[in-house]
Amino acid sequence: MKNTVGTILKISVTVAIIAFLLTRVDLAAMGRQLARADLGLLLIALALYFGAIVVNALKWHVVAHAQNLSASFGALLTYTLVGLFFGNVLPSNIGGDVVRAYGLARASGRAEAAAISVLVDRLMGLCAFLGMAVVMAALAATTLTRGAELEQIEIATVIAATIFIGGSALLFSRRVGQRVKMIFDWGPLARVQPIAARVYHALQVYRTSYRALALNLALSVGIVIITTLVWYTVAVALGAQISIFYFFLFNPLIAFVLLIPISVNGLGAKELTAAFFFGLVGMSNEVAIAMSLIFHLLIVLTSLPGGVLWWRERALAPTRSNVE
């Protein structure tokens, strides 16, 4: 019931934001802008975004390997694509990370280690985006003529990054882990003590996996760069003449705002934030919203192979059961 209410609220917010945006744009002008888009450049943007997905699977492979989880890069790419399909295409509360963890857990037989590998992969990715967002918010506030409008966002990014990085560090603390471990000695929680112990040991693996964490973080920064190039390529395809510097400036900030899950798959909220940020450097609402809608379409299109892979696995499951 709670999940249903949450989904309804997100759909309502999405519809409300889109309705608001439609009152702020010239639909005919936006339609002409979309009709004039360079298809070749849009295909390049699509390839770039799919490249970001491949890099995402690679950085997950790095931290999964640190856990000695027996899964090939191809398998992790499959789980990533299926997770994206559930997370970006379906209006459900089944998160892509849950699907990724489930796929790896089923393949490796080590549920806790699989879940922790996904958690650490996600944390490092968010660290990269938040770190870039802090730097870019500071640059935006100092370089843009309307930088005063970004002061609150700059403060919010610094606070969020500090809390997030501090909280992430606590996960790997042995002292905190030992204190939490004591909780599972008490009454009903004693039943799940073995699971808690495996989670603790899986987390502790990364205390000394400096190379894996550093490589994962570097690849996460690479994803920020690639997705920025996707935004820029789409903008050029629409005929926008905005410096690439501003795309590097705003991409992490848009991603930061979208961490607040107020709409379905970020639809509506992404268009609103894109219109706000790029409006600061003279881009019209029509171009900004068209650019954001195309970016969302690219996300959906690159998610579709995950649906095919999921359906294929589902179709093969009965056959495998019969063989066994």
Apex 258 CA angle, 252 and 263, nearest 5: 160
Residue 304: predicted pLDDT: 92
Closest CA to 292 of 268, 318, 261, 265: 268
Residue 270: predicted pLDDT: 87
Confidence of residue 186 (pLDDT cuts 50, 70, 90): low
Mean pLDDT of the chain: 82
pTM over 0.95: no
Distant-in-sequence contacts of 184-188, Cβ < 8 A, 24+ apart: none
Residue 150: count other Cβ atoms within 10 Å of its Cβ.
23
Report which residue type is found at 163.
Answer: I
| pLDDT tens digits along 213-238 | 999 999 999 999 999 999 999 999 99
Residue 57: predicted pLDDT: 95
Q: Indicate if the pLDDT at residue 257 is higher than 50.
A: yes
Confidence of residue 192 (pLDDT cuts 50, 70, 90): low
Give CA–CA dist 259/267, Å, rounded.
13
Mean pLDDT lowest among 64-78, 172-186, 260-274, 297-311: 172-186
Q: Are 78 and 266 in contact (CB under 8 A)?
A: no
Confidence of residue 4 (pLDDT cuts 50, 70, 90): low
Q: Largest Cα–Cα distance of the chain, in whole Å?
A: 68
Q: Indicate if the pLDDT at residue 80 is higher than 60.
A: yes
Q: How far is CA 190 from CA 171, 197, 299, in A?
A: 21, 11, 43
| pLDDT tens digits along 21-47 | 777 777 888 888 888 899 999 999 999
Give CA–CA dist 261/222, Å, rounded.
24
Q: Are 190 and 184 in contact (CB under 8 A)?
A: yes
Of the chain, the percentage scoring pLDDT greater than 70 comes to: 82
Query: Could you tell me which residue, 9 or 58, shows the higher pLDDT?
Result: 58
Give CA–CA dist 56/63, Å, rounded.
11
Q: Are 119 and 200 in contact (CB under 8 A)?
A: no
Q: How far is CA 133 from CA 101, 127, 141, 160, 230, in A?
A: 27, 10, 12, 10, 17
Domain ranges of the chain: 38-323
Residue 182: predicted pLDDT: 67
